[in-house]
Structure 1
Amino acid sequence: MVRITWLAPEERLEHELRQLREEGAEVGAIAEAWASARGAHDDDLEALRRRALELLDVAAALSRQEASYDLPAPLARAVGATVPPPTFATGDLRDRILGAWTGRLAGCLLGKPVEKIPREGIRELLESIDEWPLRQYFTAEGVPEAVSARWPWNRASRPTSLRESIVGMPEDDDINFTMLAMHVLETYGDGFTSDDVATLWLASMPPLTVFTAERVAMQNLLAFVRPPETARHRNPYREWIGAQIRADLWGYVRPGDPTAAAELAWRDARVSHVDNGLNAALLAAALVALAFVEDDPERLVRRALEVVPADGRLAGAVAWAIDLARATDEWEDVLDALHARLGHYHWVHAVNNAALVSAALVHGRGDYVASVTRAVMGGWDTDSNGATVGSIVGAMRERSGVPEAWVAPLHGHVRTSLKGFDRISIDELVRRTVALVPRDRVRERAA
């Protein structure tokens, strides 16, 4: 029997029940029906899966969430305003985009070997070789066998992402999606649609290189479900982190313009996400865009929040995390509070990870190493959070703000299964990204 992770109906139903509880829905009847089905079909997986699909459709009626047909109200109001975007000297723009790409790659690489390891495991691995707190890429050298057995490195990333084995930027879905966003703009232009995004997903990415909400959305597309319904149909991961990790490129190409960046992110995110999952993408795009013009991390995060609904769970968690990080001296105390309040979410949910990203930015005070290491020491989605924080601080501090010790192991290139992009150089990524910034926002010399 073939079982594809994240798509199995029985797995999706379990996550849907959890999602509905987070929305405040009453799921007792469905949970009882599912328990009964598991007892009745314990030895018949096909029958169990048919029942799971039936209950997923019943569960859909309990959700208050809808596919995103319209821009969220705060973003719609901002789009309607006439605020001239800033302009950038060509050299400054390139330096910031280079810093953003480099910072994103290095931050992602930092978090890869400990993805899925909880924060207590990350700490024990580092303390066992006297490298706590985190200051550089991880290494397995010297880690006692008992410790590595208790907290095994990420199986897929260990061969390519530890200090002793890095020979360039290995493949990662976080980076694949950043390059794919660039491909969307190069192929369809600024007027691209959600259907265009979906088309390039199917044409460019092997389906098992995407996860959670994106994998379900891709299955929905192949069953002729169109965006934005692809985000809702039997998709219990619709508020997870997937859209957030896809958002950085939209900020790169709309520097200093959080509204325009968030609107591009909305067209992308609605293929697979709704509500807080979609809002996380808008927030991330706005954060990256603002990093080109804002040098105070706390002010940056507060400004970025203006593009998302203030009454949502994500906005509330991020606003609380900002205050927490500003008022708390010790990062471990910040993490204790974050995990106590938000630890009930899945480790790749949007709400907890967006709060952690925001806290790391504020507490890191604009220093690249301090910020990305804080994000990764926090656990949860370590590579995604390292990538997002690295991207933002890289844009803020330019390429010179990302220390050479973090850049050199990248060897200037990226591996990927994304069609047409394998072994692409960082310089080419930067050149092509700069070319996508509207010409009226670029000037040849500083004024």
Structure 2
Amino acid sequence: MQIPADYIERVYAGWYGKIIGIRHGSNIEGWSYEKIAETYGEIRDYLFRFKNFAADDDSNGPIFFIRALEDSTCTEEITPKEMGEGVLNYVPWEHGFFWWGGYGNSTEHTAYLNLAHGIDAPLSGSAELNGEAVAEQIGGQIFIDTWGLVNPCDYRRAARYAAKMASVTHGGNGIYGGMFIAACVSAAFASRDVHEVIQAGLSVIPEDCQYRRMAGDVLRFHQDHPENWRDCFAFIKANYGYDRYPGACHIIPNAAVVLLSLLYGGGDFSRSINICNMCGWDTDCNVANVGCILGVMVGLEGIGKSWREPIGDLLVCSSVLGCMNLRDIANDAFYLASLGYRVAGEPYPEACRELLEGTAPRFSFALPESTHTFRALGGNCAFSNIACENAYGGRCLRAEVEAGSWPVEVYRQTYYRPEDFSDDRYTPSFTPEVFPGQTVVLRVRADRPVSLRPFAHDAYAGQNLYGEAALVEGWTLLRLELPPSDGCIQRVGVEVPAGERATVYIDYLTYEGRARYTLDFAKAGIERWTGFHTELGQTSNSKGIWEFREGAAYGSCADHGELFTGGRDFGDYRVTAHIRPQTGRSHMVMIRAQGAIRGYWAGFRGDKLVILKNRRTLRALAEAPFSWENGRDYALTVEVRGEEIRLLVDGELLLTARDGDEPYLTGCYGLALEQGSRCRILRFTVE
């Protein structure tokens, strides 16, 4: 079936609807219908205001699990086992990402440990192994929406993909729920009739399953009593309530609420998600599913600005890779759409080819309403996305800056810290999206001649770096070359002088060139969130203990531990780790790391120097005897050029390897430890 002409915008609306639903339902998750009614009465808007909304399992899963298509194969030949390897690659070990409620209690925790111990999907999530109570919790449908987004107008194919993905962590009705939601999302590209969308979703699951029987009962109740959704919820609570199902959060009661909301919302986005929130139970999950389906169905024009503006395209995640946790909803839409064209076997439309290929400027405004979380500091500024001649994608961001006593910075934040959030839900961690050594490029114009200069703020120095000012009226390129340093770039943008009232138009913002910088842990230190959540500055980790004291970072592990930093798009580069092994016999630099089970490790292992390839298991590409000692300082350098990997110790080249078997050509870097090792890390230097 041919992909619709407005596909990318509808993906954007659907993914936005998902994120809106998560935010809307998050802080009343687990509340009862009665408590919500007593506390809030009729819900019409967001219940909470956040500085910035932190991570959530309902968005982590959909945007990272879909990457199995890129990492394995973008066809229906993909297997549950390959999808399960995606879970192992992007999910940290027992922290962040989703609820770690214990083996046999949390469905995802149970399946993750099964996978980690060699039990592949679909057995990893099955009722045969884990029992029905664990296998049929809600996660099968909350992590699945993106499989509908990449299969527009082909709900049966969407359901087939979803069945494989859901089987990694779930079984039985947990899988059927995933198939239903993915099929509904897919069908919403072709129909604006809620009943048609629901029937498409139900047609892909067995007629004799509990999920289908529940849906039939809810549909019949709505047909007989179409006026009052509260009467329908009373029916659901009496017949499909939590008291009838085992486990912490069973799929059947919550799926009934999703159906109710779609039916009684009548295709209206706001009414549907508000009804869903007022029903209670697993609010963020349910409202997010409804928001995604309705977002695709009604498009951006059907989603009020009051829902979108507090988000402004920002999506925070908590995967194993900090460089992928500061996300952008508009850019995610292009990424998902690119997968959709590949799955369908259709060529990219020429008008947006670069955006889909990922070769366009990093932040352009081609999608209506997108703002890429641009903000203003130092004065008032109103932002709007408008049609714009001679702009990339035909649109740009208009920033209407009021005159004030101080210069006004129009900027994008490129690194986030604990103080930027109201809480630390699902324990996010970050790496900056731009680094010293790179060049910041903006294309701008103004409504009248005004002096503008590009800037970048170094969080560690507490000051701005500036490029050359230009008198701007017509389209102008502003460039700022960031000098190599040990700084942390926290925001970048353009500065409007004090006393100037101006309307500035931004065509795009992008970054060029290789990073050249030092991550000095004496400066990066430790970032303290809440409770026991701390992170070494500019890093994320999969497993192990990572702490800061006396001006240095320390890592240790029982079986293995990994610390990640740098950019996922780093290609050919050189990194030097200044370390002091303290205990154990395994201390290695990671390079071109693409997750927990993808990348290269090089350094000390036993009485050898090694270069290893990590593809779920470690395989030696090269090794050589080498005598090294605990308690001594070393400079371990790893250099990658194309397929070649070179290992240097204290500046001396000692080992090389070549990987001609599906090599990793990009990825971040870090440190890997094994088998009771502990290491002191002073700094990393990247060239």
Contact 1:87 1:442 in 2 (8 A): no
1 CA distance for matches of 2:348 and 2:228? 43
Provide closer, same or farther for how the CA distance between residues 443 and 423 of structure 1 changes in structure 2, counting only shifts above 3 A: closer
From 9, 25, 32, give the equivalent of 1:111: 25
Which one-letter code corresponds to 2:9 in the other structure?
A: D
**Residues 1:288 and 2:172 are matched in the alignment:** no
Q: Name 1:197's counterpart in structure 2.
A: 83
Q: How far 1:109 moved relative to its partner?
A: 0.7
Matches of 2:136 and 2:252 in 1, distance apart? 8
Give the letter for the 2:161 counterpart. Answer: L
**Amino acid paired to 2:122:** P
2:428 is the counterpart of 1:428: no
Matched residue, 2:362: none
Matches within 5 A, 1:102-251: 102-126=16-40, 132-138=41-47, 162-163=48-49, 166-190=50-74, 191-206=77-92, 207-208=94-95, 209-211=97-99, 212-232=106-126, 233-235=129-131, 236-251=133-148
Q: Deviations over 1:221-260 (max 9, x none)?
A: 2222222221232354101111111110110000011111
Determine which of 188, 208, 217 is the counterpart of 1:311.
208
- CA distance in 1: counterparts of 2:315 and 2:293, whole angstroms: 19
Match of residue 60 from structure 1: none
Q: Shift in Å at residue 445 of structure 1? A: 9.8
1:412 offset after TM fit, Å? 1.4
| Distance in 2 between residues matched to 1:222 and 1:182, nearest whole Å | 19
1:167–1:410 CA contact under 8 A, matched in 2:
no
Paired residue secondary structure (2:45) = coil
Residues 30-429 of structure 1: matches in 2 within 5 Å?
Answer: 85-89=1-5, 92-126=6-40, 132-138=41-47, 162-163=48-49, 166-190=50-74, 191-206=77-92, 207-208=94-95, 209-211=97-99, 212-232=106-126, 233-235=129-131, 236-328=133-225, 329-343=227-241, 344-345=244-245, 348-418=249-319, 419=321, 420-429=323-332
Q: CA deviation at 1:213?
A: 1.2
Alpha-carbon distance between aligned partners in 2 of 1:125 and 1:100, rounded to the nearest angstrom: 30
> Which deviations, in whole Å up to 9, do the C-alpha atoms of 1:146-193 show, x marking residues without a partner?
xxxxxxxxxxxxxxxx22xx2344211010011113322222232332
Write the distance in 2 (CA, Å) between the matches of 1:107 and 1:99. Answer: 12
Structure 1 Cα separation of the partners of residues 149 and 168 of structure 2 = 21
Pairwise CA distance, 1:444: 4.5
Counterpart of 2:317, as a letter, is T
Deviation track 1:262-300 (CA, whole Å, cap 9, x = no partner) reads 111111111121111110000011010001111111121
| Separation in structure 2 between the aligned mates of residue 214 and residue 249 of structure 1, nearest angstrom | 18
Measured in 1, the distance between the counterparts of 2:205 and 2:112 equals 26
What one-letter code is carried by the residue in structure 1 that aligns with 2:239?
Answer: R
Counterparts of 2:154 and 2:186, CA distance in 1 = 6
Give TM-score, length-normalised by structure 1: 0.71
CA contact (8 A) 1:364 1:370 kept: yes
Structure 1 residue 442, shift from structure 2 partner: 6.8
Cross-structure match for 1:47: none
Please say which structure displays the higher CA radius of gyration: 2
Amino acid in structure 2 at the alignment position of 1:99: A
Q: Residues 340 and 426 (structure 1 numbering): CA distance in 2 closer, same or farther, change over 3 Å?
A: same
Q: Are 2:340 and 1:437 aligned?
A: yes
C-alpha contact (below 8 Å) 1:115/1:380 kept by paired residues: yes
Letter matched to residue 216 of structure 1: T
Give the partner amino acid of 2:341: P
**RMSD after superposition:** 1.8
- Which sections of structure 1, spanning at least 5 residues, go unmatched? 1-84, 127-131, 139-161
Aligned-partner Cα distance in 1 for 2:85–2:347: 31
Higher relative contact order (CA 8 A, sep 6+): 1
When structure 1 is superposed on structure 2, of 341-350 and 366-375 the one drifting more is 341-350
TM-score by length of structure 2 reads: 0.47
Specify the SS of the correspondent of 1:88.
Answer: coil
Q: What is the aligned length? A: 330
Counterpart code for 1:199: E
- The answer to whether the 8 Å contact 1:167/1:411 transfers is no
Q: Secondary structure at the match of 1:437?
A: helix
Instruction: Please name the residue that 2:568 is paired with.
Output: none
CA contact (8 A) 1:101 1:430 kept: yes
Q: Could you tell me how far 1:435 is from its partner in structure 2?
A: 0.6
Q: Deviations over 1:198-241 (max 9, x none)?
A: 22212211233323211101111222222222123235410111
Q: Tell me the amino acid that sits aligned with residue 46 of structure 2.
A: Y
Which residue identity lines up with residue 65 of structure 2 in the other structure?
A
Relative distance call for 1:435 and 1:327 in structure 2 (3 A) is same
Report the AA paired with residue 229 of structure 1. Answer: L
Unaligned runs of 5+ in 2: 100-105, 352-687
Residues of 2 paired with 1:189 and 1:428: CA distance? 21
Q: Is the 8 A contact 1:114 1:382 kept in 2?
A: yes
Residues of 1 paired with 2:122 and 2:45: CA distance? 41
Amino acid in structure 1 at the alignment position of 2:83? V
The answer to whether the 8 Å contact 1:111/1:383 transfers is yes
* Distance (whole Å) between structure 2 residues aligned to residue 325 and residue 345 of structure 1: 23
8 Å contact from structure 1 (residues 111, 386) kept in 2: yes
| Maintained 8 Å contact 1:181/1:250 | no
| Structure 1, 229-238 or 289-298: larger mean CA deviation | 229-238
Cα distance in 2, alignment partners of residues 260 and 285 from structure 1: 9
Question: Would you say the 8 A contact 2:65–2:87 is kept in 1?
Answer: no
Q: Distance in 2 between matches of 1:102 and 1:314?
A: 27
State the partner residue of 2:452.
Answer: none
Contact 1:86–1:257 (Cα < 8 Å) also in 2: no
Aligned-pair identity in percent equals: 28
* Distance (Å, rounded) in 1 between the aligned partners of 2:197 and 2:279: 21
